[in-house]
Amino acid sequence: MSDILAVRDLEKTFGSLLAARDITVSVPAHQTVGVIGANGAGKTTFVNMITGHLRPTKGSIWFEGNEITGRPSREITRLGISRSFQVAQIFPTLTVFESMCMAAAIGRHTGGFFSHIVTPLHSTEAIADAEAAIALFQIAAYRDTRALALPQGVRKLLDIGMAIAGHPRLLLLDEPTSGISIEEKFDLMQIVMSALKSRKITVLFVEHDMEIVGRFADRVLAFYDGTVIADGTPGQTLDDPKVQELISGTRLKGVAAGRAAGA
Amino acid sequence: MANRSQIIGGLAFAAAAVAAPFLPDWVVSLATIAFANALVVLGLIVLWRAGLVSFGQALYYCLGGYVVALIARWTGFTDAFVLVLLGGIVGGIVAFILGFLIARYREIFFAMLSLALSMILYGVLVKTESLGSTDGFSVLTPTFIGYAPHRDALNLALYWLTLGICAFSALGVGAYFRTIAGALAAPVRDNEIRVEFLGVSVSHVIHVKVVIAGILGGLGGGLAALAIGHVDPNMAYWTTSGSFMFVAILAGAGSVAAAFVGSLLFEGVRSFAADTMPQFWQMILGTALLVTILFVPEGLGSLLLRLRRRKARPS
């Protein structure tokens, strides 16, 4: 099976509210998938179900040929799926280096909890991994700054950096550019995407900015009312009349065309 | 850095051991109690680093004490080292069992639940007439691998045993703080979601900390029971937990050594205050705590860290 992620007939209900329904998607390895949709369309629910944050009501999720439906999130993380959050989840009192070192040390020792009790945190390998991650995400200037004092963009990079410290094969980014100014968005995504490409990580990212989706995704899934209404290349999805009507508005025709011309 | 603090700590323990025969008897007794209590405080520091405050650490202290006293009473076995070790083991086992419940709670809920559990033990002991109810009972005089000292020699032997167990525990806890699980304390306090999504179970991390604190509490209680020669339910009472918290606040969570220095200081101030102003000793202790919180909010340990940083800067 060459698909790294396969999702079949996924459904999630909260009481009588249908948050997600009939989601069937396969993602081949090394693809970068953008996920778009209005607020409440089920994007984050989708991400939460894959990462084990929420248990699906119906359907199944397969990662590298193994079913992972309903497994706890830390188990899914250990299998090779990692995630970042809409609001960066970092350790406020730790410096960037300490945070990365912690993530790297944990990533190196997935052999059960006991190994964490006997393994020193500051192993040479973990330190090297941490320094490499800091260089990769271009945040060396903040190496010894406590996370609570970091600017928003660096927080996001730190969050994503920690997420990939365990060498996941699949990474889900929930709105990596939310809370970032328009001027900084593209640079941030550029750093993130080239870092992830260099690590050969399959990416699924939720994004509201259609320009960013058009620029960075190989494929775009459009969510509406809990389900996928369009799935294809950015050009196809963003040109889809239903997507234009329900999600993006018509102005995006130009963006998609711009991407086609630029590529 | 780590090696240097180990050497300094080792030298300090060695100096404390060598100095003992030249010190007045009451100082040795006081230091024995202070160091025994410091073990319990060390356990509190392990928890505190993860943002957890236990108001019921006296539970393990009391358990350790009663285990030592009861085994000696029932079997006639009096080897101090083995008895104290058993106290620690029982503390660890009880902490492991209670951990399944308590490791799910945080903040005030953790504090109150631990307080409740220790008060349950207090209640049970008070109702148990066969164990002397509120009076407790006295502990047999311990022996040391066949050697059975009396009076001053006994005091010294107990002091050295306490020092040895403290040195070993300090070394162990210091090493634990440098492991992944030990260093996860601050991340757990800061952001549990991120820890879980790094692939680590937060409740496992906390459970281990609860067990470590339980073992240290049991060891401390066992040593204290031998040193005092008596156990009673007050060992589990909330004011006992409170005095451990007091020392932990005085010492701060920053360093292992601070637990011992802080505990020694606490016992010193308490006996000095009780001696000079029997009516006002609590006021003096309270003032000491207030001064600490106002001027050294991160505890005495932070003074050491500050000194170290200042030394590091010019070089």
The residue of chain B nearest to residue A99, with distances taken between CA atoms, is: B187
Instruction: Tell me the pairing of strands A170-174 and A58-63.
Output: unpaired
How far apart are alpha carbons A236 and A248 in whole angstroms? 13
Put simply, the answer to whether B179 touches A119 (Cβ < 8 Å) is: yes
Predicted local confidence at residue B314, as pLDDT: 53
As a whole number, the mean pLDDT across chain A is: 81
Contacts of residue A109 in chain B, CB cutoff 8 Å? 180
Residue type, A240: D
Put simply, the answer to whether A78 touches B181 (Cβ < 8 Å) is: no
How far apart are alpha carbons A20 and A227 in whole angstroms? 6
pLDDT in tens, A37-86: 878 788 888 888 888 888 888 888 888 888 888 788 888 888 888 888 88
How far apart are alpha carbons A134 and B150 in whole angstroms? 62
Return the bridge partners of A223, or none: A37, A228
DSSP E strands in A38-186: the ranges are: 58-63, 66-67, 81-84, 170-174
pLDDT in tens, B194-248: 888 888 888 889 999 999 999 999 999 999 999 998 999 999 999 899 889 988 9
Q: How far A117 CA lies from chain B's nearest CA (Å)?
A: 5
Predicted local confidence at residue A263, as pLDDT: 38
Among B180, B184, B197, the residue with its CB nearest the CB of A77 is B197
Q: What structural domains and CATH numbers belong to chain A?
A: 3-85+168-262 (3.40.50.300), 91-149 (no CATH)
Alpha-carbon distances, residue A230 vs A17, A56, A57, A157 (angstroms)? 22, 22, 23, 30
Predicted local confidence at residue B149, as pLDDT: 80
Among A51, A118, A121, the residue with its CB nearest the CB of B183 is A121
pLDDT in tens, A191-236: 888 888 888 888 898 888 888 888 888 888 888 888 888 787 877 7
DSSP-based three-state secondary structure for B279: coil
Put simply, the answer to whether A85 touches B184 (Cβ < 8 Å) is: no
ipTM computed for the complex: 0.81
Contacts of residue B207 in chain A, CB cutoff 8 Å? none
Q: Give the B-side interface with A, CB within 8 Å.
A: 176, 178-184, 186-187, 189-191, 193-194, 196-201, 204-205, 208
Predicted local confidence at residue B194, as pLDDT: 87
Contacts of residue B189 in chain A, CB cutoff 8 Å? 93
Put simply, the answer to whether A106 touches B197 (Cβ < 8 Å) is: no
Which helix (H) or strand (E) segment is A205 a member of?
A: strand A202-206
Q: Hunting for tokens 């065309």 — which residue is that?
A: A257
Residue A250 pLDDT grade (very low, low, confident, very high; cuts 50, 70, 90): low
Q: How far apart are the first and last CA of chain B?
A: 14
Predicted local confidence at residue A44, as pLDDT: 84
Look at the alpha carbons of A25, A27, A28, A31 in this order and tell me if their dihedral is positive or negative: positive
Predicted local confidence at residue A17, as pLDDT: 82
Put simply, the answer to whether B178 touches A122 (Cβ < 8 Å) is: yes
Q: How far A245 CA lies from chain B's nearest CA (Å)?
A: 36
Residue A249 pLDDT grade (very low, low, confident, very high; cuts 50, 70, 90): low
Instruction: Tell me the pairing of strands A58-63 and A66-67.
Output: antiparallel
Q: Is the pLDDT of residue A252 over 50?
A: no
Instruction: Tell me the pairing of strands B230-231 and B137-138.
Output: antiparallel
Put simply, the answer to whether A163 touches B204 (Cβ < 8 Å) is: no
Predicted local confidence at residue A31, as pLDDT: 86
How far apart are alpha carbons B225 and B84 in whole angstroms? 9
Q: How far B13 CA lies from chain A's nearest CA (Å)?
A: 25
Structure tokens, A4: 């790294």
Cα dihedral: B157, B161, B164, B170 (round 10): -140
Nearest CA-CA partner of B45 in B181, B177, B240: B177
The residue of chain B nearest to residue A114, with distances taken between CA atoms, is: B181
Put simply, the answer to whether B179 touches A116 (Cβ < 8 Å) is: yes
Task: Using a cut of 0.90, tell me whether the model's pTM lies above it.
Answer: no
The residue of chain B nearest to residue A146, with distances taken between CA atoms, is: B190
How far apart are alpha carbons B240 and B260 in whole angstroms? 17
Nearest CA-CA partner of A120 in B123, B36, B292, B176: B176
Structure tokens, B69: 């006293």
Contacts of residue B182 in chain A, CB cutoff 8 Å? 117, 121
Put simply, the answer to whether A120 touches B184 (Cβ < 8 Å) is: no
Put simply, the answer to whether A77 touches B199 (Cβ < 8 Å) is: yes
Q: Is the pLDDT of residue A258 over 80?
A: no
Instruction: Tell me the pairing of strands A32-37 and A219-224.
Output: parallel
Cα dihedral: B93, B97, B100, B102 (round 10): -80
Cα B233 to chain centroid distance, Å, stands at 18
Angle, helices B25-49 vs B256-276, to 10°: value is 130
Nearest CA-CA partner of A22 in A13, A14, A35: A13
Among A51, A92, A121, the residue with its CB nearest the CB of B180 is A121
Nearest CA-CA partner of B60 in B122, B13, B135, B15: B122
Predicted local confidence at residue A262, as pLDDT: 43
Size of interface A-B (CB pairs under 8 A): 90
Task: Produce one character per residue of B302-315: b if its CB has 16 or more CB atoms within 10 Å, e if not.
Answer: bbbeeeeeeeeeee
Structure tokens, B243: 């005095």
Q: How far A254 CA lies from chain B's nearest CA (Å)?
A: 39
Contacts of residue B180 in chain A, CB cutoff 8 Å? 102, 105-106, 109, 115-117, 119-121
Q: How far A131 CA lies from chain B's nearest CA (Å)?
A: 17
How many of the other CB atoms lie within 10 Å of CB of A95?
17
DSSP E strands in B67-121: the ranges are: none
Are A4 and A169 in contact by the 8 Å Cβ rule? The answer is: yes
Predicted local confidence at residue A1, as pLDDT: 47
Predicted local confidence at residue A222, as pLDDT: 83
Ranges in chain B, pLDDT < 70: 1-2, 311-315
Put simply, the answer to whether A51 touches B180 (Cβ < 8 Å) is: no
Predicted local confidence at residue A147, as pLDDT: 85
Instruction: Tell me the pairing of strands A219-224 and A227-232.
Output: antiparallel
pLDDT in tens, B22-39: 888 888 889 999 999 999
Give the mean pLDDT of A106-121.
76
How far apart are alpha carbons A132 and A222 in whole angstroms? 35
The residue of chain B nearest to residue A51, with distances taken between CA atoms, is: B197
pLDDT in tens, A120-168: 778 888 888 888 888 888 888 888 888 888 888 888 888 998 888 878 8
DSSP string, B119-135: HHHHHHHHH-GGGTGGG
Put simply, the answer to whether B199 touches A162 (Cβ < 8 Å) is: no
Residue type, A108: R
The length of chain A, given as a count of residues: 263
